[in-house]
Amino acid sequence: MGRYHCVINLKATMQVKKYIAQDMQEAVRLIKEEMGPKAVILSTRKIRKGSGAFGLFGKYVLEVTAARDDKPTHLTKPKATKVALKPQDRAAMSPPSGNKPNAMSDYEWEISQNAPKEPRQIEKEKSSSYQGLQDEIIELKDLIQDLRQGARREANNQGNVTHLRYELNELKHMVSDLVNQTAGVQDLNLHGNLLSLYQQLSFNGVEEKFAKKLCEEVQKKVPQSEINNFSYVKIYLARMFMQVLHLLPNPAQVSTKGPRILALLGATGVGKTTTLAKIAAAEKLKNPELKVGLITIDTYRIAAVQQLQEYAKILKIPCKVVHDKTELDEVIKSFAKLDLILIDTAGRSQRDALQMEELKNYLEGRENFTNLLVLSTTTKDADMAEMTKRFSIVPLHGVIFTKLDESTNYGSIFNHSIRFKLPLAWLTTGQNVPEDMEEASRERLADLLLNISGELEGSK
């Protein structure tokens, strides 16, 4: 890792480059070594690199775009390094007694205002990292103005106009990203290591106020003797992150009090039907003698009914279609001797009051139901919050996050857990039934955000 290449020389006084790195810490190191402390990170994204056609089966890496004033200097290509955990670093997996963080639920994210002052060296590092940000913004604005003027001069040349418009649009995005990034880090009072981790969390979609409070709490808890040990701090942060998450152990577990009844609900297109089939198949594989039944109240989509019936045929289990609440009661009664009943509901628009009332009519007053909200990780964070609030018209007992394979941004899972405290049941990672589904775990979710497994691999 540690490869880099020049993308475009925008202006004689501006140098923009892209860096490929394993994580934010490595990217920051490469940028500082190559471009100096005045370099500014413009944008970051995850990309696949590796084997397979078009890199489809490669590992995700971080692509970071940085810029600086192109002053004459002798630059050398940095050597790639690999982070390795020393024996004492691994101790971070179990924070020392006396410094063990409290459970998040105890202090409810209320951070003390009496934060310890940082050493002068830390302040010096932070100020040098962000000095000149305003100058860079002004520089980019001037460049945009130049492009606008150039577009007017070249109005009769359509080819040049198209190119200039593309460059103009790219620079607008750069300025926007730079402004947002600057606003988020200017007032932070964090050590350099935690500042890098804060940026990594933010880039992964963790809401800024959550990322800030989490990093501030870590800074208070980590022993000062270890604050400069990036691996230790990163794993310590992961442990505190895991304390916030709530899990719902396999809700399909057989009960002695009658059949377990799971109802999956959510918006159209989040993958409810496929997820329901995965649950049924996974439980049958674990216990071939398990008696499972499927019910669908999704009569709006004929294809969904046919899909579920096909799954039932393959699994050799009964599948019933119901059209109203009375019929649902009758089918559940006929399934009384089964071990597990899975109910597929129709996709609903959370903004359609009539549809939500119809769902409520089916599910309200059923204390023996476990209602699981299905959310796609490709959904915007704000939309995900709105869906949860609207679907709370019926009691929600847990959440399933789908389509992890189609997203590179997993912070919304963390944000959702903090906001609603709904326990996580399953994660799905593809269309294969039942392979592409796993029970949610704190370690897995921490790894999605912080690449802890990569850190541990480096220690071997």
In this structure, which topology does domain 260-440 adopt according to CATH?
A: Rossmann fold (3.40.50)
More confident of the two residues 55 and 294: 294
Q: Decide: 197 and 229 in contact? Cβ < 8 Å.
A: no
When pLDDT is averaged across residues 70-91 and rounded to a whole number, the result is: 43
Least confident of 16-20, 179-183, 406-410: 179-183
Is 70 exceeded by the pLDDT of residue 80? no
When pLDDT is averaged across residues 43-60 and rounded to a whole number, the result is: 58
When pLDDT is averaged across residues 143-161 and rounded to a whole number, the result is: 56
Q: How many residues does the chain have?
A: 460
pLDDT at 114: 36
When pLDDT is averaged across residues 310-331 and rounded to a whole number, the result is: 92
What percentage of the chain exceeds 90 in pLDDT?
Answer: 34
More confident of the two residues 192 and 389: 389
Q: How many CB atoms lie within 10 A of CB 125?
A: 16
What ranges do the domains of the chain cover? 4-69, 87-244, 260-440
Q: Decide: 50 and 3 in contact? Cβ < 8 Å.
A: no
Is 80 exceeded by the pLDDT of residue 452? no
Is 70 exceeded by the pLDDT of residue 13? no
When pLDDT is averaged across residues 177-194 and rounded to a whole number, the result is: 64
Nearest-angstrom CA–CA distance, 440 and 417: 12
Q: What is the mean pLDDT of the chain?
A: 75
Nearest-angstrom CA–CA distance, 111 and 167: 43
Instruction: Report residue 203 as tokens.
Output: 């880039």
Residue type at position 137: I
pLDDT tens, position by position, 335-387: 999 999 999 997 766 666 777 888 888 888 888 899 999 999 999 999 999 99
Q: Is 303 helix (H, G, I), strand (E, B) or coil?
A: helix
Q: Bridge-partner residues for 293, per DSSP?
A: 341
